[in-house]
Chain A
Amino acid sequence: MELTPGLYHMLFLSSALFFIGVYGFFTRRNLVTMLMSIELILNSVNLNFIAFNKYLWPGQLDGLFFTLFIIAIAAAEAAVAIAIIINLYRCHKSVDVEEARNLKY
């Protein structure tokens, strides 16, 4: 039997990616890894958009445009996040989020 990927496959893949990202974001203490988890979450959303666009809204480009926007914003976010991480490293000599908890009550 030939396996053709359908909408459900795509959705399964994207939710798997999303929850892997969420898990990584909550459990990792290294800021760079956390940033990578965020990228995973964003990409799972992108995948969702593409899949829905292809299977439920064929011939249209709305989902694709959303995806493009998200990629662009993700790039900007990565730039900002990495800048923050570098500064944090300069202060604490570490990128461990457990160390950076000065901003509290």
Chain B
Amino acid sequence: MPSLLNIILIPLLPLLSFVWLGLSGRRQNHPMAGWLATAFMLVSLLLSIQTAFAYFSGAGMAGDSYRPMLVWDLEWLPFTATAEGLAIHTGILLDPISVMMLIVVTSISCMVHLFSLGYMKGEQRFGMYYAYLGLFTFSMLGLVLSSNIFQMYMFWELVGVSSFLLIGFYYQKPAAVAAAKKAFIVTRFADLGFLLGILVLSYYGGSMDFNQLIQSLTSPESNELQEAQRDSFMGLSALSWGLSLVFIGGASKSALFPLHIWLPDAMEGPTPVSALIHAATMVVAGVYLVARLFPVYALSAPDILQMIGWTGAISALIAALIACTQTDIKRVLAYSTMSQIGFMVLALGVSGYADGNNLGFTASMFHLSTHAVFKALLFLCAGAVIHYVHSNEMDQMGGLRKQMPITHISFLLACLAISGFPFLAGFFSKEEILLAAYTNYKPIFWIAIFTSALTAFYMFRLYFRIFWHKPYHAAHHDDHHGEGTWTMKWPLLILALGTVFAGYIPFSRFVSATGKPFHTSLHIEFSIAPVGLALLGIAAAYYLYGRQSARPEQMQKSLGFLYTSLKSKLFIDELYLFITRNIIFGILGKWAAWIDKHIVDGLMNGLADLIQWIAQKIRRVQSGRVQDYALYFLIAILGLLLCAKWFNQF
């Protein structure tokens, strides 16, 4: 096993770069700041690889399955004097999914650090940008390694803060500020659910520690589980409440319907940030959370797990539909991210726990990793394109394949991967998800396979609009800086390699719900339908967008209202605005304000008026004459004497 120091250094190195660059402020706007942070990230990546190697090559094995390892544990906040009482620990938990996430987070973060050297060059707050990236990476690694749910909650919020800071990085732009606020408020609001869920679960489970929690809430003879299932509130058992509330927190971070509204707006941040936070790592935190508590969901509350599966399926479908109509390339990618996360969640939803029936879990984690690679690649390519064209809008692009050959090839590979084209990364993971859905729950399978065809369509719509469609006219800028610096090209090439080869990792040998490795084989006859549909989607995209034509216009006209409602994102934003502005502010808020102004304030003002009135009446007493005061004094003394006489005390 690698030493504890190595494991602790993985999250601490990004923290160090945050503290260093954050405290240096403006002095660190030199390019060296970026190189420094990138070097730290690289060390962190190497340490993660070493840890993963050590874990999977034997240290994590116990018998025939991988076991969770608590490599570090510290009692942080004891609430009772006795050793068995409630206490919050901090610790580092290594198990297959956390080790997998370590690799994903550090490698994507490293690529993004490298890419940003070129992309953010000459930016005014260059040092601060890298400081925020460090803070984010630290928080995400902390989240992944957390050994108990409370520690995870803290890192969960830290991730939210760093996402807020990075979305609002261009704080001179009102849209960026609004987007940052929106993201923070929406996720923060749902985190209230998460916190309540934590309290319910830890109250009934008797612990905050993941391992103990899972143990006490899954074994059928444990008192905790029986109690949690017996107590009910509004027709749902306490356990179901706890698990659903926790999932609400996860759903908002993972941008699942209907809490997804912040993700498309979050694209106001710098593009590499979108690649890191809003495509590859932070947005899968919700998936990770469900996977972390998966035994509890699968064994004790299968109905909640099924609801989670439906949430994933609906999000995947809605996001794919909306993605077909958007024209901002980053927004298309954002909706595509939402859709792919829907896939991961639906895979968890259709998975069982027992050996032989838990393909969904493995598929979900597999898709999480491969998606991180090709979606980060897509975003970085989009970043390179935006860097070149200086616009996010598709109409400004087209025909860029000659100007940007490397970006073009990488983008094409990533598009093929996400569409599930055979023998690229996305193919393997998506086939597994579809297979799990097919064997366990058919309705979700039909939604998933339709969505997967749509995915191919909208991704290739994006691809054709950027790289084909019409010849590129560099009308508004002649100062050609080419495709970008080599620091921007290398990450693209490395990630493109990952996109090609990540699918060949025998994932089920490492990650499974029970920890017991199993073997998956490719079912060629099963793959025919999804691949065929994907090819159909690509063909449709080529037919509509391969060359400039009037066909898309005609399509839009013939679809009518369906198109307009999808184009305006199904009016979900408007619905939220209506609820907040008209119902909460307009009706509830107005009444609350009235009560505050007239009853609460009125009571206080009335009291003050009364006191003033009395004071006006009695202030004559203070005449300023010494003799008057002496007289009062005398009267008071005589009065006291009389009183004393009266009570017979004298």
For B623, the chain A residues whose CB sits under 8 A away are 101, 104
Are A104 and B631 in touch, CB under 8 angstroms? no
Q: Tell me which of B626, B631, B634 has the highest count of chain A C-beta atoms within 10 A of its own C-beta.
A: B626
- A14 CA to B627 CA, complexed, in Å: 23
Cβ-based interface call for A1 (8 A): no
Are A97 and B627 in touch, CB under 8 angstroms? yes
Cβ-based interface call for B173 (8 A): no
- Against B, the Cβ 8 Å flags (1 = close, 0 = not) of A57-86 are 000000000000000000000000000000
Are B624 and A102 in touch, CB under 8 angstroms? yes
- A26 CA to B632 CA, complexed, in Å: 11
- Against B, the Cβ 8 Å flags (1 = close, 0 = not) of A84-105 are 0000000000000110111111
- Against B, the Cβ 8 Å flags (1 = close, 0 = not) of A17-51 are 00000100110000000100000000000000000
- Across the interface, A26 reaches (CB within 8 A) one of B620, B622, B627, namely B627
- Against A, the Cβ 8 Å flags (1 = close, 0 = not) of B394-436 are 0000000000000000000000000000000000000000000
For B631, the chain A residues whose CB sits under 8 A away are 26
Are A101 and B625 in touch, CB under 8 angstroms? yes
Are B627 and A25 in touch, CB under 8 angstroms? yes
Cβ-based interface call for B630 (8 A): yes
Are A98 and B625 in touch, CB under 8 angstroms? yes
- A27 CA to B370 CA, complexed, in Å: 103
For B625, the chain A residues whose CB sits under 8 A away are 97-98, 101
Q: A47: shortest Cβ distance to chain B, in Å?
A: 19
Are A103 and B624 in touch, CB under 8 angstroms? yes
Q: B4: shortest Cβ distance to chain A, in Å?
A: 75
Nearest-CB residue, chain A, relative to B622? A105
For B626, the chain A residues whose CB sits under 8 A away are 34, 97, 100
- A100 CA to B622 CA, complexed, in Å: 13
Nearest-CB residue, chain A, relative to B621? A105
Count B interface residues, CB 8 Å.
11
Nearest-CB residue, chain B, relative to A102? B624
Cβ-based interface call for B27 (8 A): no
- A98 CA to B620 CA, complexed, in Å: 16
For B627, the chain A residues whose CB sits under 8 A away are 25-26, 34, 97
Q: B254: shortest Cβ distance to chain A, in Å?
A: 69
For B620, the chain A residues whose CB sits under 8 A away are 105
- Across the interface, B634 reaches (CB within 8 A) one of A22, A102, A103, namely A22
Are A104 and B630 in touch, CB under 8 angstroms? no
For A103, the chain B residues whose CB sits under 8 A away are 624
- A54 CA to B634 CA, complexed, in Å: 29
Are A101 and B634 in touch, CB under 8 angstroms? no
Cβ-based interface call for B481 (8 A): no
- A96 CA to B626 CA, complexed, in Å: 11
Cβ-based interface call for B645 (8 A): no
For A102, the chain B residues whose CB sits under 8 A away are 624
- A100 CA to B625 CA, complexed, in Å: 7
For B519, the chain A residues whose CB sits under 8 A away are none
Cβ-based interface call for B523 (8 A): no
- Across the interface, B622 reaches (CB within 8 A) one of A22, A34, A98, A104, namely A104
Q: In residues 622-650 of chain B, which contact A (Cβ within 8 Å)?
A: 622-627, 630-631, 634
For A34, the chain B residues whose CB sits under 8 A away are 626-627
Cβ-based interface call for B619 (8 A): yes
For B624, the chain A residues whose CB sits under 8 A away are 100-105
- Against A, the Cβ 8 Å flags (1 = close, 0 = not) of B588-631 are 00000000000000000000000000000001101111110011
Q: B517: shortest Cβ distance to chain A, in Å?
A: 90
For A104, the chain B residues whose CB sits under 8 A away are 622-624
Nearest-CB residue, chain B, relative to A104? B624
For A98, the chain B residues whose CB sits under 8 A away are 625
Q: A97: shortest Cβ distance to chain B, in Å?
A: 5
Q: A59: shortest Cβ distance to chain B, in Å?
A: 27
Could you name 21 residue pairs across A and B whose Cβ atoms are closer than 8 Å?
A22-B634, A25-B627, A26-B627, A26-B631, A26-B634, A34-B626, A34-B627, A97-B625, A97-B626, A97-B627, A98-B625, A100-B626, A101-B624, A101-B625, A102-B624, A103-B624, A104-B622, A104-B623, A105-B619, A105-B620, A105-B624
Chain B residues with a Cβ under 8 A of chain A = 619-620, 622-627, 630-631, 634
Closest 8 CB pairs of A and B: A104-B624, A101-B624, A105-B619, A105-B622, A103-B624, A97-B626, A101-B625, A104-B622
Given A97-B626, A101-B625, 16 further pairs, Cβ under 8 A: A22-B634, A25-B630, A26-B627, A26-B631, A26-B634, A34-B626, A34-B627, A97-B627, A98-B625, A100-B624, A100-B626, A101-B623, A102-B624, A104-B622, A104-B624, A105-B622
